[in-house]
DNA sequence: CCGGTTTTCTTGAATGAGTCAAGACAAGCG
DNA sequence: CGCTTGTCTTGACTCATTCAAGAAAACCGG
């Protein structure tokens, strides 16, 4: 479990000031990976009912800039955040409910970064998004088809 | 070159009615791959000054739903559209200027669809986004560093 | 070629994620 | 403990995209 002290240490290690909103945002993200700004705001307000949405946006930006959290934004969805970073993992997104799960790199870390023809671009990251159906939605769909 | 007749045939083949806005949108996308809705609107209005933005959005949705165009949305950018479809290609996005270029699949078509652990998800597509710097921005940056 | 049906377009307002800006406030340093 | 700097509050605002109602155009059958 990630305790408040660990969260605080993480913030200081990243060179960030330790403030209530930031601790709450990071705690919320640890408990709810892939949450969007609105969800984070809701969770944070369970503890700090009076935080402004702006403080949450600022915290998310500061944490993202410091490399403590990562921001992903699948097509058609709002920005989502996660605390699992630096391990080159990717995501599966459910086309129906938008649920997201983590997936480790399929083909080895190096291969992901190799494009066949990079058009002169200097590539520093490869982001993979798998699209499909989560178990629940797949089940719901087949039930519908059968019935 | 893609002529107006070819565009029209493409629309009919997809089961879509042929209307001026749709032809203009598809023509614009053929000429400007990876354009966003605003850019498409601007290009379309060069020919049809009075189209509503709604008509453009509707056309883009209809074309996307029919599988004639594909919609991509890199993090932090608005939705972009392209007519190159069905060939499993991916994209390089410049972190600085947002420019996008096409890239063929690096590791073979099949490998892309294989996740190491899919968490029970039924995966039907793997989307890869490479992040980096386009030649122009890379040059600008190194000039800045040297000077 | 013509009316009728259905889809699409126009107009105009609304939504919602995210940003901007100014001042109040708190974190961390000495 | 007090100062300086970075962060939070408040509230207005932007911009992409969507919604809704009625007008107009596309296609079908005759």
Please check the confidence at residue B4 and state whether its pLDDT lies above 90. Answer: no
Instruction: Give the nucleotide nearest to B76 (CA→C1').
Output: C18
Residue with minimal CA–C1' distance to D26 is: B17
Least confident of A48-62, B64-78, B108-122: B108-122
Backbone angles phi, psi at B18, to 5 degrees: -95, 110
Query: Which residue positions of B form the known binding site for Zn(2+)?
Result: 94, 97, 134, 137
Q: Give per-residue pLDDT as tens, B51-110.
A: 999 999 999 999 999 999 999 999 989 999 999 988 878 899 999 899 999 988 655 554
Residues contacting B117, CB < 8 A, separation 6+? A103, A104
Q: Given B72, B106, B119, which is nearest A101 (Cβ)?
A: B119
Asked if A60 contacts A37 with a C-beta cutoff of 8 angstroms, the reply is yes
What domains can you pick out in chain B, each with its CATH number? Answer: 3-72 (1.10.10.10), 87-146 (3.30.1490.190)
Q: Give per-residue pLDDT as tens, A22-48.
A: 999 999 999 999 999 999 999 999 999
Protein-proximal positions, strand C, CB < 7 A: 7-12, 17-21, 26-28
Residues contacting A90, CB < 8 A, separation 6+? A102, A103, A104, A105, A106, A127, A128, A129, A130, B115
In whole angstroms, C11 C1' to B69 CA is 27
In the structure, what pLDDT confidence band is assigned to residue A88 with cuts at 50, 70 and 90?
confident
**Whose CA is closest to B101, among A90, A112, A115?**
A115
């Amino acid at each position: 479990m990630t305790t408040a002290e660990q969260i605080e240490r993480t913030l200081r290690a990243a060179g960030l000031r330790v403030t209530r909103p930031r601790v709450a945002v990071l705690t919320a993200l640890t408990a709810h990976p892939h949450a969007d700004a609105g969800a984070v705001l809701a969770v944070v307000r369970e503890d700090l009912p009076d935080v402004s949405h702006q403080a949450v946006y600022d915290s998310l930006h500061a944490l993202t800039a410091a490399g403590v959290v990562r921001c992903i934004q699948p097509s058609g969805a709002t920005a989502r955040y996660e605390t699992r970073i630096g391990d080159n993992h990717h995501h599966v997104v459910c086309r129906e409910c938008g649920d997201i799960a983590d997936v480790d790199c399929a083909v080895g870390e190096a291969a992901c970064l190799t494009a066949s023809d990079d058009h002169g671009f200097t590539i520093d990251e490869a982001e993979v998004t798998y699209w499909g159906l989560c178990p629940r939605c797949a089940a719901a769909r087949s039930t519908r088809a059968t019935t």
